[in-house]
Structure 1
């Protein structure tokens, strides 16, 4: 078969397919005018050239969003619908160019098949609605965030800084050692009967405690000799100065140009204030000190050596202390105004126990085959961890097991921020004496 015969056959097939697509009858066909004449002339290049010069027709809104391209395929020249795909544009261009190569020889101005095919392709696109995935079908892993925080916390360890304030002989060192089951604080009174230290200097002890893979860097600040003198004027100043010095130290480190990744926190997170078991109420010295301290640190008051009081005396003593605290507007931990709704019920039970009547002991006794901590008296054994004997169990839960992290966060968000704001407002770019920041001078 000659080239002219093959080209004529290819043209007939193309025109036949176009006629089938647009309709056979002139009255029913959407093709009219010059394009109909070109179809009857069976000239495929001229048809494509005419279509290229004709603007595309916009489909009505209710037309199904289906995209077809008419691609001449093979030597037979059969035109069949092909789904629109951006990836196969180059393939279509090559196929059209090969089919129309032989026909372009007889035409003076051959059309651009690539442009023609691109322009007759409909421009409507089918909108794809994203499928809604139920939460039960797919999990993105947000529950693993707490595991990440746990690993980082265990790697860094935890820090707790406690200050104990009270006169000598109230069992401050014994209670701290009982709380942490470790020899954290040495005794101020030796076994030889030497006099206890009568100094108002601050003594700090640092201890690392390990339990079940958790490390706690514990710092306990003691105030030996506090309130032991006849004239106790301004005996609270060493404690206040130490607390503010730690805030100042942290502020300087925080504003340093070259600070470490983790600032070593030496701020006092909690102050255990020991009340002697007089059975009456707070002394004037106690009220004065608590009024100075409660603005700069979290205070937890405790009744020392509560086994010296009967149950009735203990309850009456606690009521008197709570009344004194309310009358003098002394806020002690836990604070009601900073309670989260989820923690209100538990914190309210703690507030009703304040001050905690505690007993400390490092002596272990065998009670019905169990080794317990307790104080042996003539009338019996006081078990330290028995809630029916004292409130040591509740104090430990508050201080360590339930609210330790809350104490740390309140120190940073409330007390330290108050010091930082006051410090920046008063300095005005110049350093001032730390004593002027004490509550006793404001």
Structure 2
């Protein structure tokens, strides 16, 4: 057997145990995992510094360095995330939709774990912690395959979390890390049907499409974040400015950062100079259509590719539209179905936008940056699903379960 097959077998065996342990056992393990992160934080920070040094030598962009960076505050946030997951209701074993058939059979659905979850992701070591915590709480074993950019950080985090899991008397196979970051190994994981029940890719469009193309294991597709904000004719200008600046600059490398702004033609002349100046002060590069360029000269004209692209950087594309319907049409054409927002004082326009925009999270008068498992009250997230089957939007504990039918009878035959 290959190393990957051995880890897959260990994870499958562990998943049978995890599916049947008590909520208290899982809670105790998660608290221990959180404590160990803080106890061994210097070990994590030293490993992360190696990754950062390598990234700097390779000319990695500022926004990608931000994704990779760990510090004491971020490790504390990781630990707090585990504690929050620990205290959430356990989804496993919940019985719902119980009904009695005319023949006396009682039929219901019970929540059960998915089994072994393979997670392939890029340079965000905090994902390692989030994935481990959510999978354990939902009774799943996890096989993680992070990017080469964060390999030393991921090894350190998994070593610490695995020690906590072992010290909590849970099977060591519950959490596995694939340390070989070659593409061939990733593809082998995508086709490990014998042991892996579902794959969740988390990263840029290249990674996600690679998984969708090569996987034979079922995939829950998490999407890139080509997110839009539409500034309506009826809006609070200061609110619109505040929301856009937050959505673009609070963390440009996040998938829920806004990438495109659409502005109603009757608002454009008043609002564009205001938002233009605010964005320039935040060092955001603006790309616009011809109407935007007329009002704010010397900007770069947006190309067709710009409307499709997730920048993940201090870049924003702006377009002037005729009305709300053109805005909705543009969003549904170019969006990655992640998160979109409307800024408006018109109730009917807000309802129209909510009804017709086809994305996993749609906002009225709020920043797209709230599309996040912790902000939604899930403790953390395994990813943001942009597909429509099984799960959509931030994926918390319930999205890492499936159901089985349980049937009570008293001798019925057919």
Is the shorter-chain TM-score for this pair beyond 0.5, marking a shared fold?
A: no
Coarse TM-score class (shorter-chain normalised): under 0.3
- What TM-score does the superposition give when structure 1 sets the normalisation length? 0.23
Larger Rg over CA atoms = 1
- What TM-score does the superposition give when structure 2 sets the normalisation length? 0.24
